[in-house]
Amino acid sequence: MVSLVDLGKLRKTVTIREQAIEVQGLPAHFIVDMLANSNELRLVMAEKAVSGDIIATLAAQFPHMLAQCIAMGVGKQGDAETIQFALFDLMPGEWIELMEPIVELTFPKGIKSFVDGLTRLVRHVAPDAAGWAAVTKSPEPSTPASERDIPPKQHGDIHPDSSKDGSRSSDEMTSQSSAA
Question: Quick one: pLDDT at residue 69?
Answer: 93
β-partners of residue 13 are 22
Question: Quick one: pLDDT at residue 180?
Answer: 53
In this predicted model, what pLDDT tens digit does every residue of 121-150 receive, in sequence order? 878 777 665 554 445 556 666 666 666 666
DSSP class per residue in 43-61 = HHHTT----HHHHHHHHHH
Task: Yes or no: say if 25 and 10 are a contact pair by the CB < 8 Å rule.
Answer: yes
Task: Yes or no: say if 77 and 30 are a contact pair by the CB < 8 Å rule.
Answer: yes
Full-model pTM? 0.60
Task: Yes or no: say if 45 and 115 are a contact pair by the CB < 8 Å rule.
Answer: yes
Question: Quick one: pLDDT at residue 8?
Answer: 75
- Give every CB contact of residue 97 below 8 A, 6+ residues apart in sequence: 14, 16
In this predicted model, what pLDDT tens digit does every residue of 79-97 receive, in sequence order? 999 999 999 999 999 999 9
Domain coordinates of the chain in residue numbers?
Answer: 26-108
* Helices of type H across the chain: 28-37, 39-45, 52-73, 80-88, 92-106, 111-125, 170-179
Q: How far apart are CA 152 and CA 180, in angstroms?
A: 42
Name the amino acid, one letter, at 155.
H
Question: Quick one: pLDDT at residue 157?
Answer: 57
Q: How far apart are CA 135 and CA 54, in angstroms?
A: 26
Q: How far apart are CA 15 and CA 100, in angstroms?
A: 12
Q: How far apart are CA 95 and CA 102, in angstroms?
A: 10
Rounded to 10°, the helix 52-73/28-37 angle is: 150
Q: How far apart are CA 54 and CA 33, in angstroms?
A: 19
| Residue ranges in the chain modelled with pLDDT below 50 | 132-134
Q: How far apart are CA 81 and CA 43, in angstroms?
A: 30
